């Protein structure tokens, strides 16, 4: 007992209610545990409130506006197309509210106690939950840390009214006439593209050789850069951002490329150079939880830290910062606490960019397979040879299967094209289920559909393509 109050007891305490935390809490409750969730902000965390969900709503609004203006090639011309951005923002918020309200209902329906406040570990079985006006101790048998991450702030680019992070970009009250983005990663390209579709003159400054820092194959990023260029977006790679000067109505950004210093003016500067884990100021040192040099919590294959009854999931542990990764890890941790033999296996975890065209990858690339000593074959089928893609006027892209040469086992896939974010699920399932290219090719896919491209890529892998010349 901690002096000063009477602790409230719970079986499993979850710190954070994002896509990792709330999923972990619900799974733990399903397994018979008494669960308490501590949340210092809004239910749903970054993803639902200022991340995945609102950004996709903004991206969709941008798509619709751009398509309304640029569909002449299919015989549709619209005049005086306008954006009421206040209504766009109101619609975006309505999407967020529906989902966060839904999560609150799910937590309540599973008899999970939700406590508002900041959690601080006192020891391995107690946390202090504090608000401005009160403090309460909670005693737990197990805890799951799901505190997420925060945008990195560069000292030379302090956030302000005109120098913004992704949260600020989602909350703008106007469509900027111009914007500079530092960081050509997923967030920078997605949000930048949304505003470019609404008419913003966009410049992306990326420090590495390519956008997405080489995380996606060149043949995929080339399609995205081609699309950005068609919208008047300037992408500057190998660019070193050096500083920013704020003016009355905007910013002047200084950067260096090929040894030459340049300046560019814009209404806003969006800084998207990564996110840092929220592992400070929660008392981890009080418990002796091991951290990496990057501030990530060290865990085993079940999400367990070096303190056996404390687990960690999502952005605070190693691996890609993906909402679905956090949800997956949350289920594993909850099941491990219940004594199940569940373990984490990331091979079938997809990654998606909601760019134009969309990009998606799962499992091995050809290069990664080679590095792992696997003799593999890459087999591609183009969107341009698919009837549904033609009817959607979305012919840029391809589906590529990576199969093991000896037996055709599907070990990876990459997709660039419309609805890649949806199509990749079938290939993730193929990897998880140990399917071969023949299994996919023999599965009847509806016609006409984009899903057929997966079947056709499998036929390429078998050497029996129907709709392209072998």
Distance CA 228, CA 387 (A): 25
Is 188 marked as a binding-site residue? yes
CA distances from 135 to 16, 54, 59, 119 (A): 17, 33, 41, 10
Q: Is 185 annotated as a binding residue?
A: yes
Strand stretches in 295-358, DSSP E: 310-312, 351-353
Residue 274 assigned to a binding site: yes
Beta carbons of 365 and 354 less than 8 angstroms apart:
no
What one-character DSSP code corresponds to residue 42? -
d(C-alpha 126, C-alpha 9), whole Å = 9
Interatomic CA distance for residues 43 and 45, integer angstroms: 6
> Do 131 and 115 contact (CB within 8 A), yes or no?
no
- The answer to whether the annotation marks 137 as part of a ligand binding site is no
148 annotated binding-site participant = yes
Q: Is 184 annotated as a binding residue?
A: yes
149 marked among binding-site residues: yes
Cβ atoms within 10 Å of 82's Cβ, excluding its own: 7
371 is in an annotated binding site: no
Active site (catalytic) residues: 447
Cα–Cα distance for residue pair 437/52, rounded to 1 Å: 32
Q: Is 186 annotated as a binding residue?
A: yes
Query: 206 labelled as ligand-binding?
Result: yes
Judge whether 408 and 436 are in contact, CB under 8 Å.
Answer: yes
Flag whether 59 is marked binding: no
As to burial, measured by CB atoms within 10 angstroms (0-12 exposed, 13-18 middle, 19+ buried), residue 106 is middle
Separation in Å, CA 357 to CA 122, 226, 360, 449: 49, 10, 10, 17
Going by DSSP bridges, is the β-strand pair 35-39/113-116 parallel, antiparallel, or unpaired?
parallel
**Does 38 show up as a binding residue in the annotation?**
no
168 is in an annotated binding site: no
Is 417 a known ligand-binding residue? Answer: no
Q: Residues 170, 191: contact at Cβ < 8 Å?
A: yes
Annotated binding residue 56: yes
* CA distances (Å), origin 40, targets 7, 97, 167: 19, 18, 17
Going by the annotation, the residues of the binding site for NAD(+) are 183-190, 206, 274
Going by the annotation, the residues of the binding site for FAD are 56, 147-149, 315
Going by the annotation, the residues of the binding site are 56, 147-149, 183-190, 206, 274, 315
């Amino acid at each position: 007992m901690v002096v000063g109050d009477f602790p409230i007891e719970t079986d499993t305490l979850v710190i954070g209610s994002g896509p990792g935390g709330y999923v972990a809490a619900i799974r733990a409750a399903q397994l018979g545990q008494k669960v308490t969730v501590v949340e210092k902000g809004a239910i749903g965390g970054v993803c639902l409130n200022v991340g995945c969900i609102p950004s996709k709503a903004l991206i969709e609004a941008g798509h619709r506006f751009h398509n309304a203006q640029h569909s002449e090639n299919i015989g549709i011309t619209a005049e005086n197309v306008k954006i009421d951005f206040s209504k766009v923002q109101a619609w975006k918020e309505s999407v967020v509210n529906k989902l966060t309200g839904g999560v609150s209902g799910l937590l309540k329906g599973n008899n999970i106690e939700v406590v508002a406040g900041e959690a601080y570990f006192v020891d391995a079985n107690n946390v202090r939950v504090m608000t401005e006006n009160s403090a309460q101790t909670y005693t737990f048998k197990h805890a799951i840390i799901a505190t997420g991450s925060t945008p990195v702030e560069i000292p030379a680019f302090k956030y302000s009214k005109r120098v913004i992070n992704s949260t600020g970009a989602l909350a703008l009250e106007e469509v900027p006439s111009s914007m500079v983005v530092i960081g050509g990663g997923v967030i920078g390209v997605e949000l930048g593209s949304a505003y470019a579709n609404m008419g913003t003159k966009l410049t992306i400054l990326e420090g590495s050789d390519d956008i997405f820092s080489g995380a996606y194959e060149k043949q995929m990023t080339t399609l995205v850069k081609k699309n950005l260029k068609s919208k008047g977006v300037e992408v500057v790679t190998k660019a070193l951002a050096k500083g920013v000067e704020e003016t009355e109505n905007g910013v002047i950004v200084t950067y260096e490329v090929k040894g030459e210093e340049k300046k560019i003016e814009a209404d806003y500067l969006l800084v998207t150079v990564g996110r840092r884990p929220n592992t400070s100021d929660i008392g981890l040192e009080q418990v002796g939880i091991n951290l990496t040099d990057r501030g990530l919590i060290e865990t085993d294959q079940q999400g367990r830290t070096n303190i056996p009854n404390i687990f960690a999931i999502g952005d605070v542990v190693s691996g890609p910062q993906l909402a679905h990764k956090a949800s997956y890890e949350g289920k594993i941790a909850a099941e491990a606490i219940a004594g199940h033999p569940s373990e984490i296996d990331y091979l079938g975890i997809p990654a998606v960019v909601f760019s134009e065209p969309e990009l998606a990858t799962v499992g091995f690339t050809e290069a990664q397979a080679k590095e792992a000593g696997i003799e593999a074959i890459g087999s591609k089928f183009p969107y341009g040879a698919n009837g549904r893609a033609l009817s959607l006027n979305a012919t840029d892209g391809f589906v590529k299967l990576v199969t093991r040469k000896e037996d055709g086992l599907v070990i990876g896939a990459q997709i660039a094209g419309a609805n890649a974010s949806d199509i990749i699920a079938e290939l993730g399932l193929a990897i998880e289920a140990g399917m071969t290219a023949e299994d996919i090719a023999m599965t009847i896919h509806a016609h006409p559909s984009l899903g057929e491209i997966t079947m056709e890529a499998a036929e390429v892998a078998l050497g029996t393509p129907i709709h392209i010349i072998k």
